[in-house]
Amino acid sequence: MHDIAEELPTKSSANPFASKRGGAKSRELLTAIMLRLATYFILLCAGYIFVDIIIKGAPVVFKVTPPFVNTDFLTKSPVTLMTFETSDGEQHKMDFGDYSQFKRDFPELKIVEEHSHAFSGGGILGPLVGTALLTGICIIIALFVGITTAIYLNEYSSKGRFMDVVRLAIMNLAGVPSVVYGLFGLGLFCLVAPVITSTPHESALFTVPIIFSDYYLSFQGWGTCMLAGGFTLAVMVLPVIIAACEESLKAIPMGFREASLALGATKWQTIAKSVLPYAFPGMLTASVLGITRVAGETAPIMFTAALSHKDKLPWQDVEGLGGFLSQSVQAMPYHIYTVAARIPQSEYTRPMQYGSVFVFLIVVMLFAALSVFLRIHYRQKIKW
């Protein structure tokens, strides 16, 4: 008995709740380490890309001498860059217009060797303006349709299998490749969309006479223009805006609606006064980020709106709003694609490539910062 009593404290000294380092614990630790390394690797790759763009693109936009900004790069449209050598052995590099003037001013100089580099001279004013116009049209259409659709789905629609299918379809549309949206925009807006005209085009799908007038509703499309590009971008971003706005509306407690209705407010008054003001910050942030994403798409605008070269800005030599919206424009994504993939590469094309990407990166970052600022600004005003 004495021996057994002496052994009991020894057996109970071990902690029965202590964790045992087995195979499952080791695998869990290894998985956590791998996930952490994968995250660091992704951040490292993204950081390398950003640093590379900044190092190679910033010198194109900024200068070390006053005014410290390359105003020509931001105020001129892309042109052909000419590099040549004269008979006296001097190397020259200038835009095509300056090159033509140079030959007129110095006819006695013989040009020994010359090379042209398309879209590598001038600046990016045309693509910047075109991107701003396409994004503006997209914002007007997408925000109106997206917010109203989200309000209907969350506040007015009844629950059922049909509405579940509609929501599933909206979510599936968010994953459709951008090139598919480009082909959709080409087929619908460029080739089939209706226009009111007195002389229908022979390629029109069909025409409908407008009574008591000499005009027809002709389904002949809008052609390749900024209006078609803006509508295509709006259709592309709609699923994201609808889903984000609906989630913001769902986050508002039902008590807000019930209290408003109990006080005698109508359904719309309840939505306008007790729901939308509190959901607005989240809706605005998601919408801005969604539109920023589509502003960088190449395929949709390549099929519906963009040109690689355009001599004049969109508002030059046009008559009326219809003429303004019915013309093609340059755009930053398509311009970057052109100078990076469609022309021969050389040391003279790289400044335009990296300068364009650097400016576009700044624009996207400003949009992201704007969305964060607006969210913080409106959330500080509304507390609940």
Residue 176 clears pLDDT 80, i.e. is over it:
yes
Residue 258 clears pLDDT 70, i.e. is over it:
yes
Q: Please tell me the least confidently modeled range out of 12-26, 113-127, 204-218, 263-277.
A: 12-26
- 360: its two tokens: 């576009």
Distances (CA, A) of 173 to 149, 167, 189, 203, 239: 15, 10, 18, 30, 6
Reported confidence tier of residue 360, pLDDT bands at 50, 70, 90: very high
The per-residue pLDDT for range 138-160, each reduced to its tens digit, is 989 998 999 999 999 999 988 88
For residue 298, the cross-strand partners are none
Reported confidence tier of residue 383, pLDDT bands at 50, 70, 90: low
Q: Phi and psi of 122, rounded to 5°?
A: 75, -135
Our measurement of the distance from residue 14's CA atom to the centroid of its chain's CA atoms, rounded to an integer in Å, reads 62
Contact 331, 233 (CB under 8 A): no
Task: Count the Cβ atoms, other than its own, within 10 Å of residue 307.
Answer: 19
Angle CA 132–180–118, to nearest 5: 50
Residue 85 clears pLDDT 80, i.e. is over it:
yes
At residue 286, the pLDDT reads 79
Mean pLDDT of the region 101-114: 85
pTM for the whole structure? 0.85
The per-residue pLDDT for range 15-52, each reduced to its tens digit, is 665 555 567 788 888 999 999 999 999 999 999 999 99
Please tell me what DSSP assigns to residue 197: E
- 336: its two tokens: 């970057």
The per-residue pLDDT for range 295-347, each reduced to its tens digit, is 888 889 999 998 888 878 888 878 778 788 888 899 999 999 999 888 888 88
Side-chain half-sphere CA neighbours of 241 within 13 A = 29
The per-residue pLDDT for range 89-103, each reduced to its tens digit, is 888 888 988 888 888
How far is it, in rounded angstroms, from Cα 293 to Cα 142? 13
Q: Give percent of the chain with pLDDT exceeding 70.
A: 94
Residue 137 clears pLDDT 80, i.e. is over it:
yes
Contact 218, 197 (CB under 8 A): yes
Distances (CA, A) of 254 to 155, 248, 258, 268: 11, 13, 6, 15
At residue 158, the pLDDT reads 85
